[in-house]
Amino acid sequence: MTWVSVDLCLVPIGVGVSLSPFIAACQRQIAKSGLKSQLGPNGTAIEGPWEEVMACVHACHQDVHRMGAPRIYTTLKINTRTDRNQSFEDKVNAVERCLNP
């Protein structure tokens, strides 16, 4: 099983300037998936098994289209490792240790 950490930034197009309801729908879908996630100001970090994370991204797209978005532009940064398991908290903590030796 391939473990993946992604940064998801989903932008509905053609729905006006307020995107919060659409992002909230995605957050509900992510919560429903049971995957570990962290909402940020410009996207959401999600981690878990590759197939489950990609299925979650797909479900987010489906929900946002159902809400009336005729188009969605998504950027997805994908990080995988084969040498060890590393959560997004582990990555942040590693940098913080360098900042505060």
Q: What's the CATH code of the domain at 71?
A: 3.30.70.930
**Domain of 69?**
3-99
Task: Check if the beta carbon of residue 51 is closer than 8 Å to that of residue 14.
Answer: no
The pTM for the full model equals 0.89
Q: What is the pLDDT of residue 84?
A: 82
The pLDDT of 44-50, averaged and rounded, is 96
pLDDT in tens, 15-42: 999 999 999 999 999 999 999 999 999 9
Task: Check if the beta carbon of residue 59 is closer than 8 Å to that of residue 29.
Answer: yes
Backbone angles phi, psi at 53, to 5 degrees: -65, -45
Q: How many domains does the chain have?
A: 1
pLDDT in tens, 69-97: 999 999 999 999 888 888 888 888 999 99
